[in-house]
Amino acid sequence: MYNKSVVLLVALFLLWSVSDVLAQDSHDGHEHGNEQEVQDEHADCDHGHEQLEESDLHDDHSESDDHDDHSDHEGDELTVELTPDAVKLAGITFSKVKHGRIGRTVELPGEIGFNEDRLAHIVPRFAGIVLRVNCRVGDYIEKGMVVAVVESNESMNSYSITAPISGWVIERHLTLGEFVSEENSIFVIADLSTVWVNLAVYPKDANRIKKGKTAIIKSIGTGSTTTGTIEYVTPIIDPRTRSLTARITLPNPDNVWRPGSFVQATITTEAGRESLVVEKNAVQYLDGESVVFVADGPNKFRPVVVVTGDIDANYTQITMGLNEGTKYVSTGAFELKAKIVTSNLDAHAGHGH
């Protein structure tokens, strides 16, 4: 009985020891498995991060290449190439950057008027009844032509009235059978071979506008342009307009300058300091910058960004961007600018923007 109890206790002890060892091994194995999984996950993360970085580098490189290609494309767009026929059609001419003086200018509004020294008011010598009228308003008559016949109330004899000058009939104040007197004109005749340009000079410019100054005169509406010299400035201010009047006499053989039409006159009043200049129409505005076109090969033209200064009626001062003697497009620059603008619009339309 005693031996069986001992054997049972030993068996229970051995069973407990084996169970404890197996449990410890299972726990260690589980921890080892977790550590391996963590390491594997970390390795996968590192590997994925490396792949992401390589992908980013690849994408960045692609974007950079695309940007460089786009920049090159933009540079190509700014160079205009025309056929020889297109160059002629655009009227492109060249000049060279030179030294010159930009004058200070004043722009004055004005109106074409009759040359009042070449107006004729025709008045009857004797009062009487109109027997005949030979011309109407708008007719051109020669000096010495009979314009009317009147029967004198005093002598009851008829007499002829002749034109004292050649010109256009601009007023008529008689009809057949009407009584006319020697106190009122019956015709006004205007010689339009010359006309007056009457310019309004406001007080702020009065001291700068003087007799002898040259003016560039442009017709509002027709665009006709000519030059003239100021020959008279009124000494007093008109109380109605609060301005002086500067007068220029223009030749008008073809009746281009019509009385009653409006003009704008540009007058250079003083010269500035000497500097580099280009012709005024050579400077164009492209993408918010002032540019001048220069030759970039046979029938190729490239815009050069410039910094401009003072401007007068003919020239623009160049303070930066061009050197003396540089050959530039003096006529046709606007057409070149239009070519670039329309080309860019077509390119954007093609990209679906």
Fold of 196-265: Elongation Factor Tu (Ef-tu); domain 3 (2.40.30)
Q: What percent of the chain has pLDDT over 90?
A: 62
> Residue 310: pLDDT band by 50, 70, 90 thresholds?
confident
Q: Considering only the top CATH level, what class is 116-190?
A: mainly beta
| Mean pLDDT value of segment 164-193 | 96
In the structure, how many helices (H) and strands (E) does the chain have? 3, 23
Q: Is the pLDDT of residue 1 over 90?
A: no
Q: Convert the pLDDT of each residue in 229-264 to its tens digit.
A: 999 999 999 999 999 999 999 999 999 999 999 999
301 or 2, higher pLDDT? 301
Predicted pLDDT at 53: 42
Helical (H) or strand (E) element with 13: helix 2-77
> Residue 348: pLDDT band by 50, 70, 90 thresholds?
low
Least confident of 54-58, 146-150, 200-204: 54-58
Q: What is the dotted CATH code of the domain comprising 81-104+273-350?
A: 2.40.420.20
Q: Convert the pLDDT of each residue in 192-207 to its tens digit.
A: 999 999 999 999 999 9
Domain residue ranges in the chain = 81-104+273-350, 116-190, 196-265
Pairs from 224-232 (Cβ < 8 Å, separation ≥ 24): 224/256, 224/257, 226/250, 226/257, 228/197, 230/199, 230/267
18 or 327, higher pLDDT? 327
> Residue 221: pLDDT band by 50, 70, 90 thresholds?
confident
- The Cα 238–Cα 198 span in angstroms is 13
Strand order in the sheet with 167-172: 119-122, 187-190, 167-172, 140-141
Predicted pLDDT at 13: 52
Predicted pLDDT at 275: 92
